Every structure is written in structure tokens, then in C-alpha cells.
Amino acid sequence: MPLNVPILLTWMRIVAIPLLVAVYYLPAGWLGAHERDLLATGIFMAAAFTDWADGYLARKLNQTSAFGAFLDPVADKLMVAAALLILVQLDRTDAIVAVIIIGREITISALREWMAKIGASKSVAVSMLGKIKTTAQMMAIPLLLYQAPLLGFDTLQLGNWLIWIAALLTLWSMGYYLRMAWPEIARHSGD
């Protein structure tokens, strides 16, 4: 396993997941509700920044690796899934949103793995639609974690609009990836 700055940042994102969850399980007197939400938002946003930073540094420092390419999306999916489960538990978003987003991530990850196994991974390469979906998610989740008014905006309402947009884009992008992979799926369905 190579160890370089981009991979270290990815590992930091993975370590941040239990910290994010733990914030909501601290004893009642340690943090007020707003401080808890602020800390969780900060942890999530720092993790989101490391997602951008590890990709940028891997390209800039020429430290890309197969392990890093594997670990980065795993870290992203785990962080988003943990945050969504917290938000459902806090009743800040609907369970159906979490099921759509997490279910799509599992489905597309399995599809990508299978497509790589049959040598057709280019047909499910990351698309612009997937990037827009990810952007909507990464904007929505901090707003939902924060939950308090910010600069005159109702972050809970804005976050819920964005997370529903992300859920719709999630379904659309899943359909796109499945459509792109369908010729290979049909060709190899008897294997």
C-alpha cells in the first residue's frame, strides 16, 4: 500500500467518519445542540475539502495510484452514507432520500466492479451528471447538519431542497450509467 499525501488525506476522511457520528453521541452536557451541529458541520466540510485536496495533490504531485483511485470513492461514499444516516435519525431528511442515494452508490459501485472485471470500465466512467449530483449532495449535507438560520437563509429548507435535487440526480445518473453499460450487460449476461 503506497503512502503519500493524497492517500493520507483520504485516510483522514475515513477517520473523520466515526468522529462525525460520535459528535451526536457525546454526553448531553458536553455540547449544546447548536455547538454539536456546528462541530459536525465543520467535520463534514473538512472531510469534503480533503476529497478535493487529495485529488488535486495526486495530480499535481504525480502521486496517483490504483490504491488511491480505489480508496478515494470508498471514503466519499462512507462519509456521505454516515451523514445521511445521522440526518435521518435527527429527522432532518427523509429515509427515502438516504435509501435512494446509498442504494445508488452500492449499485453503481457493483456495476463498476463488474464492468472492470469484464474489461469494459470505460462505459461507466464518471460523468458530468454524477459530478453535479455529488456537488448538490455536498452542499446539502452541511446545510442539513448545521440546521440554524445563516445569513437570513433557512438552511434546513435549502438543504432539503438540495438533497431532494441530489436524490433525483442520483436516480437520473444511475439510469445513465445503467444505459451506458447495458450493451455489455446484455452481451455478458450468460457468463
> What digits encode the pLDDT tens for the residues 121-161?
676 667 788 889 889 999 999 999 999 988 988 999 999 99
pLDDT at 139: 95
| Joined grid coordinates for residue 74 | 470508498
Q: In angstroms, rounded to a whole number, what is the distance separating the alpha carbons of residues 60 and 54?
A: 10
As a whole number of Å, the CA-based R_g of the chain is 18
pLDDT at 22: 96
pLDDT at 11: 93
Give residue-wise pLDDT tens across range 59-114: 898 888 888 888 888 999 999 999 999 999 999 999 999 999 999 999 988 888 87
Q: In angstroms, rounded to a whole number, what is the distance separating the alpha carbons of residues 134 and 169?
A: 9
Average pLDDT on 14-20 reads 95
> Can you tell me whether residue 29 is helix, strand or coil?
coil
| Joined grid coordinates for residue 123 | 462505459
For cell 434546513, what's the residue?
156
Q: Is the pLDDT of residue 17 over 90?
A: yes
Enumerate the domain spans of the chain. Answer: 1-91, 94-191
Helices (H), 24-154: 33-60, 66-89, 95-117, 128-146
Average pLDDT on 9-23 reads 94
pLDDT at 125: 67
> Can you tell me whether residue 150 is helix, strand or coil?
strand
pLDDT at 183: 82
Q: Is the pLDDT of residue 168 over 90?
A: yes
Which distant-in-sequence residues (6+ apart) come within 8 Å of 173 by Cβ? 104, 108, 127, 129, 130, 133
Q: In angstroms, rounded to a whole number, what is the distance separating the alpha carbons of residues 137 and 7?
A: 23
**Minimal CA–CA distance to 40: which of 85, 97, 103?**
85
Q: Is the pLDDT of residue 44 over 90?
A: yes
pTM of the full predicted structure?
0.89
Q: In angstroms, rounded to a whole number, what is the distance separating the alpha carbons of residues 135 and 2?
A: 29
pLDDT at 89: 96
Q: Is the pLDDT of residue 46 over 90?
A: yes
Q: Is the pLDDT of residue 43 over 90?
A: yes
Q: Is the pLDDT of residue 2 over 80?
A: no
